[in-house]
Amino acid sequence: MEGDLQVVGEAGTANEGVRVARETGATLAVMDLGLPGESGLSTIGALHAVSPALRVLILTAHCTDEYLRAAFSAGVDGYLLKDATRAELLQAIRAVMAGQKYYSAPVSARLLSGYLSGPASARAGPARGITAREREVLTRIALGDSNKRAALAMRLSIKTVEKHRANLMRKLEVHNTAGMTLFAIRNGLLPNQGSGG
């Protein structure tokens, strides 16, 4: 029904999903976390093993801290709740295919509120040298916000967000969004991640 998208396969179990990804060379997998056989989260590693460039968009009813933490650790590209509209599903698919992260509004809100209200001790360590404002910019970038979306949410100019972003890359010694996101995950800086969440 969409000229720029094509369904190349379907699977009812985790193992079938891995087989379909291998046989079709699919570029995106839209998957539930509750699959017969292996769990959806454990399947993500297997999918990436057969197709390293495959992007994974989770479509699920689960929005608990445990599922979100596990999904981030597994390296998902998007996390959409099943009450999303068809239009939002298409928006999420296209965003993920364009190399962006996509999270349902309730997921982003849960992650961000958990992060901003969480104990500071969980956010210490290697990121001690960054300011609170830079930390918020880092979180929003890791959650998939563009500079424009981050600026609107934080009530800053886009130039200010770009400056914070440049400072972060210099301080963290990373060179792109993927590096910043990986740093955030590895150092427990994402909301509801790590011992404090």
Contact 155, 117 (CB under 8 A): no
Instruction: Encode pLDDT of 139-150 as tens digits.
Output: 888 877 888 888
Q: Which fold has domain 110-186?
A: Rossmann fold (3.40.50)
Spell out where 84-165 has E strands.
102-103
CA atoms of 184 and 187, how far apart (whole Å):
5
| 14-103: CATH number | 3.40.50.2300
Instruction: Encode pLDDT of 23-51 as tens digits.
Output: 988 899 998 877 665 566 678 888 888 88
Overall average pLDDT of the 6-33 stretch: 87
Q: Which helix (H) or strand (E) holds 17?
A: helix 14-24
pTM for the structure as a whole:
0.59
Q: Between 178 and 96, name the one with better pLDDT.
A: 96
The SS3 of residue 32 is coil
| Chain centre distance of CA 149 | 15
Domain borders along the chain are: 14-103, 110-186
- By C-alpha distance, which of 189, 29, 74, 111 is closest to 103? 111
Structure tokens at 87: 């239009």
Beta bridge partners of 188: none
- By C-alpha distance, which of 81, 17, 12, 65 is closest to 44? 17
Q: CATH topology of 14-103 equal to that of 110-186?
A: yes
Given a cut of 60, whether residue 116 has pLDDT beyond it is: no
Contact 181, 141 (CB under 8 A): yes
